[in-house]
Amino acid sequence: MAAEITYAEVKFRNASLSAEVKAPPKKKDCDHHTQKYPPWLPWLISLLLLLVCITLIITLFVSHFSHNQEELKTLPQNATEWLCVSVMPPSKGRGWMCCPMGWRFFQKSCYYTSTDSMTWNDSKKNCTGMGSHLVVIDTEDEQVFLSAWLKEEIRYMRKDNYYIGLSAQNVGQWHWVDKTPFNVTAVFWRIGEPSNVEEEKCVVIHWKEKKHWNWNDLRCDIRSPRICEAAAITV
């Protein structure tokens, strides 16, 4: 007997093999808000900058004035009156050079002739104490000016010699008190001078010469008047 075969009908539904993929939600764009400044802010900043500039100018002016006042106190310290000369053309503003009353002004320097007499070393110390130094002569114009001035002074002083800032540590080796190089082309010795001997190592101006060739070396312990020099004060 043959075996019975049973057939069964099986139906399959089609299934989608691709999975549905959901895209992530888009991010919302950030809102860009422009920051607005008050309209008066630029004016305030400009005003502050202007005030800063004015403050700096005032500070510099006060500092400069105070510095000049300190200089005025040191040339000399006991001076209460000053003689000032205008050195700037009116078109370029104001500029003054000042010397203590009783001093002479010439080419940006102040000069003083003493009424008392001292040795050369004491004369050097005395000028230094007044904020100056024994005169240093390095041009013919300066020598001519001093010679003419001394000829005026002798009507009152009756002094023959005035110490200047020239001396020698070794015979014939002359040097100035302020370290200015000694220029052999700008010297004004009297005829026959300097003696260049061991005993005579300090220099004076001898006013009695007719011309301005009037330097003379002599002993440093001789007591004579002196000429002091200092830079004029600019204000």
Q: Please give the domain boundaries of the chain with CATH numbers for all domains.
A: 111-228 (3.10.100.10)
Residue 157, pLDDT > 60, answer: yes
In this structure, the strands spanning 215-218 and 202-206 are: antiparallel
The pLDDT tens digits of the residues spanning 29-58 come to 545 555 567 777 778 888 888 888 788 877
Average pLDDT in the 127-144 region?
A: 95
Ranges 21-30, 115-124, 129-138: which has the least confidence: 21-30
pLDDT at 92 (0 to 100): 59
The pLDDT tens digits of the residues spanning 190-210 come to 999 999 999 999 999 998 887
pLDDT band at 21 (very low <50, low <70, confident <90, very high): very low
Residue 113, pLDDT > 70, answer: yes
- Residue 72: CB atoms within 10 Å: 17
pLDDT at 6 (0 to 100): 44
pLDDT at 19 (0 to 100): 45
Bridge partner list, 86:
96
Give CA–CA dist 100/48, Å, rounded.
43
Residue linked to tokens 């024994």: 134
pLDDT at 151 (0 to 100): 87
The pLDDT tens digits of the residues spanning 49-104 come to 888 878 887 766 555 444 444 444 467 655 668 888 887 665 555 578 999 999 99
Residue 227, pLDDT > 60, answer: yes
pLDDT at 208 (0 to 100): 83
Residue 13, pLDDT > 60, answer: no
Q: Which helix (H) or strand (E) holds 126?
A: helix 120-129
Give me the percent of the chain exceeding a pLDDT of 90: 49
pLDDT at 105 (0 to 100): 94
DSSP assignments along 23-69, one per residue:
PPPPPPPPP--PPPPPTTHHHHHHHHHHHHHHHHHHHHHHHHHHHHH
pLDDT at 26 (0 to 100): 55
- Tokens representing 99? 């010397």
pLDDT at 117 (0 to 100): 95
pLDDT at 5 (0 to 100): 45
pLDDT at 72 (0 to 100): 46
pLDDT at 68 (0 to 100): 44
Residue 16, pLDDT > 60, answer: no
